Chains A and B, each alone.
Chain A
């Protein structure tokens, strides 16, 4: 690698990491947290014995999973202003990503809840727990353990999907790389550097996943 390319890669690392710290990471964390709350609500709606609640959740999930994230972002950012709703870039991105995570994670959580053996419910009822108490004290902790690997997948996907926010004026990791690339015309170098930083972030997340799995193992009936 030539000296000037090293220098360029090194000098670009600062802006790229800033993009990760100011854009990518907070965007992913906030959207994932909000998305999980939405997902839990949707999953419980889907499992509800109220037909209409279940139907609403089903339609919502279907729309989210059946449309591209980029289209969702553009509808919220470029489309809604024509209805008089002008949302800033950051909140637009958070809304789109949370909704997206909500749609996907809802199915993960629903499956995880269903994966807890029926016997666990029955045992909880036998000792006099209400349905709500059985859910929060017995079922959800076990479902949490089951859902860690697939939810980690969702989160890792989200980290990479935040690069789409660069298309709606959010300054994040990939946008910073593109800025340096546009200035230096060294596309391959900068795109690879961005890829490397995403990869390192996701490697860290994978180890966190491993630790979380171990920690949550204690909730599972063996």
Chain B
């Protein structure tokens, strides 16, 4: 009994270690292709052959990627932009709805060709993924309860609790501000936790909060502070997908020139956030 257990343990450990080193090698492989030289970049031809651009998005992030009234087809600013881009590429867009915290893992695993979900361009992400040119410029806001007087700036978040998705850039910002971050799945949970008084604040896109105010009774909430820099959001591709990114950049430039991006932006925000 004892012996079999021990040998099972050893065998299992060996198998797991082998699996771990395999993945590490695989990860090394993608890192290698990011730097360019060894593997051919077939990202664009793959999409063209398939005839579809498969895009990962949350589907629960108003007004960027959501279902109107919780039902019906997926819609939103990011969704419309991707559809327009796909049309320019001569393919159709299909959307894979994924929780934000699994979205980069999904991209790496090749479950989709791109992420369209207000992915902010950050140095850490640029090191690992390929980005298109930005299609949204916006600011981040700290959302707190309206009776909160202790949070007035990003510095005052120090020691406070915020709710964020772990892999979001707002999490990075909150952590850098010294906040204790509670991990949640998305904006809907974050804002619920602030309203329920379970966390002090949440940081998110200003546009998200404006949209939330438009559609909900947000009288109990207010903006405590706004970022000074504008964050730039773009489509994210797997590292090394240069051919696909370049084609998308051309499409985005065309869509900017012919006014499509402006009109999509006006439709959702009543203002042009694409410049």
Contact A5 B27 (CB under 8 A): yes
Contacts of A86 in B (CB 8 A): 196-198
Contact A199 B12 (CB under 8 A): yes
User: Counting CB contacts under 8 A, is B176 at the interface?
Assistant: no
Flag B92-104 by CB within 8 Å of A: 1 or 0 each: 0000000001001
User: Counting CB contacts under 8 A, is A221 at the interface?
Assistant: no
Contact B24 A182 (CB under 8 A): no
User: Counting CB contacts under 8 A, is A166 at the interface?
Assistant: yes
Contact A189 B27 (CB under 8 A): yes
Q: Please measure, in the bound complex, the distance between the C-alpha atom of A203 and the C-alpha atom of B25, giving whole angstroms.
A: 28
Contact B184 A169 (CB under 8 A): yes
User: Counting CB contacts under 8 A, is B9 at the interface?
Assistant: yes
User: Counting CB contacts under 8 A, is B128 at the interface?
Assistant: yes
Contact A192 B167 (CB under 8 A): no
- Interface size on B (CB < 8 Å)? 37
Distance between B149 CB and nearest chain A CB, rounded to angstroms: 22
Contacts of B192 in A (CB 8 A): 78
Residue from B8, B20, B171, B182 in contact with A189 in the complex, judged by beta carbons closer than 8 Å:
B20
Residue from A1, A78, A179 in contact with B166 in the complex, judged by beta carbons closer than 8 Å:
A179
User: Counting CB contacts under 8 A, is A107 at the interface?
Assistant: no
User: Counting CB contacts under 8 A, is A178 at the interface?
Assistant: yes
Q: A182-B101, A203-B9, A207-B5 are in contact. Are A192 and B19 (CB under 8 A)?
A: yes
Contact A188 B16 (CB under 8 A): no
Contacts of A69 in B (CB 8 A): none
Contact B166 A182 (CB under 8 A): yes
Output the nearest chain B residue to A166 by Cβ-Cβ distance.
B183
User: Counting CB contacts under 8 A, is A38 at the interface?
Assistant: no
Contact A169 B27 (CB under 8 A): no
Residue of A175, A181, A191 with highest tally of chain B CB at under 10 A? A181
Output the nearest chain A residue to B188 by Cβ-Cβ distance.
A78
Contacts of B124 in A (CB 8 A): 185
Distance between B1 CB and nearest chain A CB, rounded to angstroms: 7
Contacts of A181 in B (CB 8 A): 105, 166-167
Residue from B16, B25, B125 in contact with A196 in the complex, judged by beta carbons closer than 8 Å:
B16
Flag B14-43 by CB within 8 Å of A: 1 or 0 each: 001001110111111000000000000000
Contact A2 B24 (CB under 8 A): yes
Contact B24 A175 (CB under 8 A): no
Contact A185 B104 (CB under 8 A): yes
Q: Please measure, in the bound complex, the distance between the C-alpha atom of A186 and the C-alpha atom of B27, giving whole angstroms.
A: 8
Residue of B182, B185, B197 with highest tally of chain A CB at under 10 A? B182
Contacts of A166 in B (CB 8 A): 183
User: Interface residue tally of chain A, by bracket?
Assistant: 20 to 34
User: Counting CB contacts under 8 A, is B189 at the interface?
Assistant: yes
Contact A1 B21 (CB under 8 A): yes
Output the nearest chain B residue to A214 by Cβ-Cβ distance.
B1
Contacts of A186 in B (CB 8 A): 27
Output the nearest chain B residue to A210 by Cβ-Cβ distance.
B1
Flag A163-186 by CB within 8 Å of B: 1 or 0 each: 000110100000100110110011
Contacts of A179 in B (CB 8 A): 166, 183
Contact B28 A192 (CB under 8 A): no
Contact B108 A187 (CB under 8 A): yes
Contact B171 A182 (CB under 8 A): yes
Contact A167 B185 (CB under 8 A): yes
Distance between A191 CB and nearest chain B CB, rounded to angstroms: 8
Q: Please measure, in the bound complex, the distance between the C-alpha atom of A185 and the C-alpha atom of B193, giving whole angstroms.
A: 26
Contact B166 A178 (CB under 8 A): yes
User: Counting CB contacts under 8 A, is A81 at the interface?
Assistant: yes
Q: A182-B166, A203-B9, A210-B1 are in contact. Are A169 and B105 (CB under 8 A)?
A: no
Contacts of B109 in A (CB 8 A): 188
Q: Please measure, in the bound complex, the distance between the C-alpha atom of A146 and the C-alpha atom of B45, giving whole angstroms.
A: 61
Contacts of B25 in A (CB 8 A): 1
User: Counting CB contacts under 8 A, is A9 at the interface?
Assistant: yes
In the complex, besides A86-B197, A169-B198, A182-B166, 20 extra interface pairs with C-beta distance below 8 angstroms are A2-B28, A166-B183, A169-B182, A169-B184, A178-B183, A181-B105, A181-B166, A182-B167, A182-B171, A185-B104, A185-B125, A188-B23, A188-B26, A188-B27, A188-B108, A189-B20, A192-B19, A196-B16, A203-B9, A210-B1
3 nearest A-B pairs in the assembled complex, by CB-CB distance? A187-B105, A182-B166, A1-B21
Q: List 12 A-B contacts (CB under 8 A).
A: A2-B28, A86-B196, A86-B197, A167-B184, A169-B184, A178-B183, A181-B105, A182-B166, A187-B104, A189-B23, A196-B16, A203-B8
